[in-house]
Structure 1
Amino acid sequence: MSLDVGAVSSSKNMGGFDESKEGAEKSGVQEVGDEKQGNVKRNMSDASMYATEDEEEDEEGNKIELGPQYTLKEQLEKDKDDESLRRWKEQLLGSVDISNVGETLEPEVKIISLSILSPDRSDIVLPIPENGKPKGLWFTLKEGCRYSLRFSFQVSNNIVSGLKYTNTVWKTGVKVDSTKEMIGTFSPQQEPYTHEMPEETTPSGFFARGSYSAKSKFLDDDNKCYLEINYTFDIRKDWAAT
């Protein structure tokens, strides 16, 4: 698997517990290797401390109107007399076989793998359930440990614009974290993309330990959801026995 050169660095992942940080979002087709974001980190507000599990943000209500979609063939035909735009589109698409995917409007993104990495132990490979609801406890994190999330995904049919990852975490029904991170814009290809988020550290102490519930989503600029996972995890004094 190759690391996509256009993927935007993210700063949080599953089970992070700082107040929400939003990566810069860009709509429309964006050039690979030319995306940047700014992250803001602040203390948890009183409002977020008392938001309940039923008070999620209405993503659909904030949907951005992006205008008409085009197939890959149509995108290449548009502005074909503009040499600079033509070269830019060819660079974005790379070695895409237009004859196989050029007639499809909707992109498709399949999340192939999810893993938690920590220098304290071997990688935790998370099974991805088809219904988006893992049975029982999905994973356990050790308090005060360093960890990061790595995932691979495959893009087919068309360009996916503004792919992003969102995650919300609750403890005993109270929302303790909300995250939205931009990943990037990707052209379809057979080889999966791999993205690894920056390392984080779990909280520690008596009040940090216990069970949490969470919801993770992978969406694009049009708020099309490619994967939603509702799960539970624990923070304990030590890693779970393998």
Structure 2
Amino acid sequence: MSSAVEAAISCSKVDVPAAPEPEEAKAKNAAAEHGGDAANGEATPPPPHCHEDEEDEEEAPKVIDLGPRVSIKDQLEKDKDDESLRRWKEQLLGSVDLNSVGETLEPDVKIMSLSILSPGRPDIFLPLPVEPNAKGVWFTLKEGSPYRLKFTFSVSNNIVSGLRYTNTVWKTGLKVDRAKEMLGTFSPQLEPYTYVTPEDTTPSGMFARGSYSARTKFLDDDRKCYLEINYTFDIRREWPSTS
């Protein structure tokens, strides 16, 4: 085949522009993208989210579609004739009370207590819930002191996946620290869970002492927010008096 014929054939290929989308179809597609029903004019409200920090947007995990969420009761009913699979599910879920979880699909996490542990010092128990407009210092730490955080929380209704804790700290309006701790995936149970973070050390020195503001959040893989606390704390030369 000559080059002239090849050129003629290649020039005969035309990209046909797509037909314009009808206005009605556009409306339906827009409603579907926002989780609503175009025919009924209803929109499904999004799940509760924490206050969005810049790091949250940058580190937002890619959402993997694992299909529709299934209640724990339905999970246990599936493949119930397979003895090995049934025992594996029971081991994974632990002592789940089916009467308490029922058919609920969404997990519920309640942060029951927060405390700060430092060697040689009484534990600092932080009161919950925190008043929305509470003022004043929530706690005071000594500079250069080792400490760990202890969380106690309960899980009900369904399995919570990728529960994590984040803490962002500012001093005089400048962000000075950000911590993120993955707590894990937990199934519902009657007894509360306890998690203790790895040991860390408070900063020290003249520029480290003073007042700080912070935001602590507990959220899961679906970015559902279970607790958000905005507070202030101090780092001083010495521990405050316990008397």
Counterparts in 2 of 1:2-21, with a 5 A limit?
none
- CA distance 1:130–1:104, shift in 2 (3 Å): farther
| Residues 153-203 of structure 1 deviation map (CA, whole Å, 9 limit, x = unaligned) | 111111111111111111111111122211011111111111111211111
Which stretch has the larger CA shift, 109-118 or 98-107? 98-107
Aligned equivalent of 2:21:
none
Shift of 1:210: 1.0
Task: State whether residues 164 and 220 of structure 1, in contact with CA within 8 Å, keep that contact through their aligned partners in structure 2.
Answer: yes
Shift of 1:84: 4.1
CA distance in structure 1 between the partners assigned to 2:236 and 2:160 by the alignment: 38
Identity %: 73
Task: State whether residues 143 and 203 of structure 2, in contact with CA within 8 Å, keep that contact through their aligned partners in structure 1.
Answer: yes
Letter in 1 for 2:87: R
Aligned equivalent of 1:152:
152
CA distance in structure 2 between the partners assigned to 1:86 and 1:74 by the alignment: 12
* SS of 1:137 mapped into structure 2: coil
CA distance in structure 2 between the partners assigned to 1:129 and 1:192 by the alignment: 17
* SS of 2:144 mapped into structure 1: coil
RMSD over equivalenced CA pairs, Å? 2.3
Aligned equivalent of 1:92:
92
Task: State whether residues 76 and 89 of structure 1, in contact with CA within 8 Å, keep that contact through their aligned partners in structure 2.
Answer: yes
- CA distance 1:79–1:134, shift in 2 (3 Å): farther
Aligned equivalent of 2:194:
194
CA distance in structure 1 between the partners assigned to 2:239 and 2:156 by the alignment: 37
Counterparts in 2 of 1:130-169, with a 5 A limit?
130-131=130-131, 134-169=134-169
CA distance in structure 1 between the partners assigned to 2:77 and 2:167 by the alignment: 38
Counterparts in 2 of 1:105-184, with a 5 A limit?
105-131=105-131, 134-184=134-184
Shift of 1:151: 1.3
| Residues 191-231 of structure 1 deviation map (CA, whole Å, 9 limit, x = unaligned) | 11111112111111011111111111111111111100111
Aligned equivalent of 1:57:
56
Gap regions ≥5 residues in structure 1: 1-52
- The answer to whether the aligner puts 1:203 opposite 2:203 as a matched pair is yes
Shift of 1:146: 1.0
Letter in 2 for 1:99: N
CA distance in structure 1 between the partners assigned to 2:237 and 2:174 by the alignment: 22
Higher relative contact order at CA 8 Å, sep ≥6: structure 1 or structure 2? Answer: 1
* SS of 1:135 mapped into structure 2: coil
Shift of 1:82: 4.9
Aligned equivalent of 2:25:
none
Letter in 2 for 1:156: S
Gap regions ≥5 residues in structure 2: 1-51
Q: TM-score, normalised by structure 2?
A: 0.71
CA distance in structure 2 between the partners assigned to 1:59 and 1:108 by the alignment: 26
CA distance in structure 2 between the partners assigned to 1:174 and 1:72 by the alignment: 45
Task: State whether residues 147 and 201 of structure 2, in contact with CA within 8 Å, keep that contact through their aligned partners in structure 1.
Answer: yes
| Residues 90-130 of structure 1 deviation map (CA, whole Å, 9 limit, x = unaligned) | 10222211122131111111111111111132111101235
